[in-house]
Amino acid sequence: MRSIGEMARDSGLGVSALRFYDRAGVLVPAWVDPVSGYRWYEPEQLEEARVLARLRRAGMPLADIRLMLAGWSSADTDLVRKLLQAHLRRLELGLSDARTEFSTLRALLDHRENPMTSLRTATVRTSVSAAELAAALDSVRFAVSTDPELPMLGGVLFDIEGEALQVVATDRYRMAVAQAGTAGHGGHRVQVVVPAPLTDAMRALLSGEEPVQLTLDDDRVTLETAGRQAAGQCLEHDFPDYRRLVHLPSGRQALVDVAVFQEALRTGPVHASEVREQDGAPYDLSVLKVADDGTVTLCEDGDDDQNRIAVNREFLLQALAAGARDHLILEFGAPTAPLVIRRPDDEDTFSLLMPVRLED
C-alpha cells in the first residue's frame, strides 16, 4: 500500500488535503494504523486522488466531487460527463458575469473626476513611546499580506493624525488595528506604508522604555533610538481606506479565557464539508457560536445554528496570540459580518476576521 506521503507526492494533493478528504469521507484510506493514526492507501486509490486533484484545481464544489468520484469508481460515464458539463457551464457563466463587472469598474475608474490623492507630505517628525509602538506592531504584524499580487498590503500602515499613531495591517482576510500616542506633530493627517522587512527592523530596536523619534519624509521613514536607526523607502502604493471597514454595528460579546479557548480550537472539531484553500494551501475551518450566557462553543458538523460563524482556525489562533491578554472579547455580528477580537482594557486595539461562507 501507499503511505500518505507517497500518495501526496504522486497525486498532487498535499498531506493536509488528504487528511481533510479522509475526514470529509471523500477519499478514505484503505487502512489507518490504530496506534499512530497513520494513513495507508491501496494502489488503485491513486487514480481517484489524481482525479480529485484535477477537480479541485477546476474549482468543482465538494458535493459534486463526491458524486464524480462515485461515478468514476463505478464507471458511470453518463453521470461523470453530466457533472463535468454542468460545472463547465457554471464556470462560463461566472466568467461572463465577472467580465461585465470588471468592465464597469474600469469605466468608473477611467471617469473618476477626482483621482485618489496620497496623504504623504513634507517632513514630519514625532516622538513615540518605544513600549507603545512595540506593542502596537506586535498586535498587527500577523495580518500583513504576503501576496505579491497585492503589493499595497505588503506592509504596515502608519497613520498619524493629531497626537495619535494608528498602525494597521490587512491581507483582505483579516485586519488588525492598534494605536500609540505621539508628541511633537499634532497636525494634519499623514500616511505611509512601511514594508514588512523595515517594520521588523524597527521592531527590533524597540527594546527600551524611552521615546523614539519617528520621521516621515515624503517617501522615506526613519526610526531612531539610542544612537541606532532603521530607515528605508515606503511602499509606493496607497493603502485601502481601513476606516470604512472598522465601523461595525455592535454584536453579541463573549469574554474568553485565551489559553483555554486556544486549546479548544487546537483540539476541537473542524468543519469538514469542503476543502478551503488560501494561496494554494488548505486550511482548517472552525465554526463558532455564542450562547445566551456568553459561552463560545465550537460547532460540530451538522450543527445548523443560524448565528454560527466560520473562520480560518489558524488566523483566529494568531489573532488571539496577538491580543496579548489573558482574556479577550469576541464580538459576533451577523454570520456574514467579521468576527471582532477586542481587548477588554483597550478599545483602540482589535482584529477583524472575515467569515467564510459555509456550503454544506
pLDDT digit string (tens) for 39-93?
Answer: 999 998 999 999 999 998 898 888 888 888 888 888 788 888 989 999 998 888 8
CATH annotation of 2-90: 1.10.1660.10
pLDDT digit string (tens) for 14-43?
Answer: 888 899 898 888 899 999 999 888 999 999
Domain 248-353 CATH class label:
alpha beta
- Comparing 145 with 336, which gets the higher pLDDT? 145
288, pLDDT greater than 90:
yes
Please report the DSSP string for 273-301 in residue order: SS-EEETTEEE-EEEEEE-TTS-EEEPPT
- How far is Cα 305 from Cα 278, in angstroms, rounded to an integer? 26
CATH annotation of 124-244: 3.10.150.10
Please report the DSSP string for 131-156 in residue order: HHHHHHHHHHGGG----TT-GGGSEE
220, pLDDT greater than 60:
yes
What's the whole-model pTM score?
0.72
- How far is Cα 247 from Cα 229, in angstroms, rounded to an integer? 36
Residue 121 — very low, low, confident or very high, per pLDDT cuts 50/70/90?
low
pLDDT of res. 158: 94
DSSP H helical segments within the chain, as ranges?
A: 4-11, 15-23, 45-57, 62-73, 77-110, 130-140, 196-205, 243-246, 258-267, 313-323
Torsion on CA atoms 312, 318, 323, 326, rounded to nearest 10: 100
Residue 131 — very low, low, confident or very high, per pLDDT cuts 50/70/90?
very high
Locate CATH 3.10.150.10 in the chain.
124-244, 248-353
pLDDT of res. 110: 66
269, pLDDT greater than 90:
no
279, pLDDT greater than 60:
no
- Comparing 218 with 325, which gets the higher pLDDT? 325
Residues 6 or more apart in contact with residue 105 via CB below 8 angstroms: none
Mean of the per-residue pLDDT values of the chain: 87
Residue 198 — very low, low, confident or very high, per pLDDT cuts 50/70/90?
very high
Locate CATH 1.10.1660.10 in the chain.
2-90
CA end-to-end span of the chain, whole Å? 32
Reading the block at residue 180, the C-alpha cell is 500609540
Neighbour tally for 246: CB within 10 Å: 14
Grid cell 523595515 is found at 198
Strands 211-217 and 190-195: unpaired
pLDDT of res. 248: 73
114, pLDDT greater than 60:
no
